[in-house]
């Protein structure tokens, strides 16, 4: 897929809505070709038929085994709390040291095999997923799109079925950065997501961890996020951006209402709705 004309983008989005339940397969993808593709795929798409996958997992599994063995040793021999008088470090301290060493080894492995991609993760609710997906597609495949201009994003995907949790359902959305370990590039993408698209991710995961079978449920309890939302912007900066986006939306809605009242618009504004990317505040119960 190359950069697309606006009419083509509109047609694509009208035909491929994540919420429709009519998209075949577990994921809906958009991808722009670029020079750094790994066999034409995002890292996590590699499978047993790919030579890169075979080599990376063959070399990576001993690293996982080494980490697990060290974690078992820590659990059996180290004290829960540090004992400075005896020069003994706590289990928590030693686990974190082990995690950092493993992540450094995995980074070296990923760079060796050029499996560098990773993703910012989002979980829009079902009623917002089509709008969220639309924003991302336009930002990536339009040559003037905010993410396209960074030069660091060429791929995104959205689940075609929601994850159900109680009465709420949400879709997984991934925005891929070309190089997980280029902090400046990943940070630039995060800031564009926040400032231009009003989207804030809680975590960034390198694809190499996915290929090695490590997720949030892995027995190592390894934190899988390489970066968090406060890695590139402070909470105060994020709050200020949330407030600015909220004010801009209210002003836009007010202007639209005035135009409708004056008969200058039909009242339909497909981009005036905006998913609230901040955690929803719990309602405070009032005593009767």
Mean pLDDT taken over the chain: 86
* SS3 state at 164: strand
Q: What is the pLDDT of residue 287?
A: 46
Domain boundaries, the chain: 6-40+115-236, 47-113
Enter the CATH code of domain 6-40+115-236.
3.30.760.10
**pLDDT tens sequence across 2-17:** 778 889 999 999 999 9
Q: How many helices (H) and strands (E) does the chain have?
A: 8, 8
Question: What secondary structure, in 3-state letters, does 23-81 show?
Answer: CCCCEEEEECCCCCCECCECHHHCCCCCHHHHHHHHHHHHHHHHHHHHHHHHHHHCCCC
Q: How many residues does the chain have?
A: 288
Contacts of 143 (CB under 8 A, 6+ apart): 3
Q: Please answer whether residues 28 and 16 qualify as being in contact, where contact means their C-beta atoms are separated by less than 8 angstroms.
A: yes
Q: What is the pLDDT of residue 136?
A: 97
Q: Please answer whether residues 42 and 32 qualify as being in contact, where contact means their C-beta atoms are separated by less than 8 angstroms.
A: no
Q: Which run of H or of E encompasses 204?
A: strand 203-206
Q: What is the pLDDT of residue 278?
A: 33
Q: What is the pLDDT of residue 41?
A: 59
Q: How far apart, in whole angstroms, are the C-alpha atoms of residue 147 and residue 67?
A: 36
The two tokens of residue 257 are: 């209402």
The one-digit pLDDT tens for each residue of the chain (288 residues) are 577 888 999 999 999 999 998 888 899 999 887 655 555 556 777 878 889 999 999 999 999 999 999 999 999 999 999 999 999 999 999 999 999 999 999 999 999 999 999 999 999 999 999 999 999 999 999 999 999 999 999 999 999 999 888 778 999 999 999 999 999 999 999 999 999 999 999 999 999 999 999 999 999 999 999 999 999 999 999 999 999 888 887 776 655 455 445 444 333 223 322 333 333 333 344 444
Q: What is the pLDDT of residue 249?
A: 74
Our CA dihedral for 271, 134, 200, 165, rounded to 10 degrees, sits at 110
Prediction pTM value: 0.81
Give which of 196, 132, 31 is closest to 188, Cα–Cα: 196
């Amino acid at each position: 897929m190359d950069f697309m004309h606006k009419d083509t983008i509109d047609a694509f989005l009208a035909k491929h809505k994540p919420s429709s339940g009519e998209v075949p397969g577990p994921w809906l993808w958009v991808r722009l070709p670029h020079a750094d593709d790994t066999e034409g795929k995002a890292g996590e798409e590699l499978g047993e038929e790919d030579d890169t996958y075979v080599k990376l997992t063959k070399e990576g599994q001993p690293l996982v085994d080494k980490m697990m063995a060290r974690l078992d040793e820590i659990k059996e021999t180290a004290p829960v709390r540090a004992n400075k008088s005896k020069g003994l470090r706590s289990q928590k301290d030693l686990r974190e040291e082990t995690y950092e060493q493993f992540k450094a080894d995995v980074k070296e492995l990923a760079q060796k095999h050029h499996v560098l991609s990773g993703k910012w993760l989002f979980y829009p609710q079902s009623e917002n997923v089509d709008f969220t997906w639309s924003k991302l597609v336009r930002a990536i495949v339009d040559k003037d799109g905010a993410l396209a201009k960074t030069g660091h994003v060429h791929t995104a995907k959205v689940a075609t079925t929601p994850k159900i949790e109680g009465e709420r359902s949400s879709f997984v959305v991934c925005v891929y950065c070309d190089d997980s370990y280029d902090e400046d590039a990943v940070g630039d993408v995060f800031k564009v997501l926040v400032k231009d698209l009003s989207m804030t991710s809680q975590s960034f995961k390198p694809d190499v961890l996915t290929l090695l079978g490590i997720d949030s449920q892995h027995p190592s309890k390894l934190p899988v996020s390489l970066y968090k939302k406060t890695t590139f912007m402070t909470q105060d900066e994020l709050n200020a951006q949330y407030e600015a986006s909220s004010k801009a939306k209210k002003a836009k809605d007010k202007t639209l209402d005035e135009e409708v009242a004056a008969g200058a618009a039909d009242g339909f504004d497909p981009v005036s709705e905006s998913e609230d990317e901040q955690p929803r505040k719990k309602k405070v119960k009032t005593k009767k």
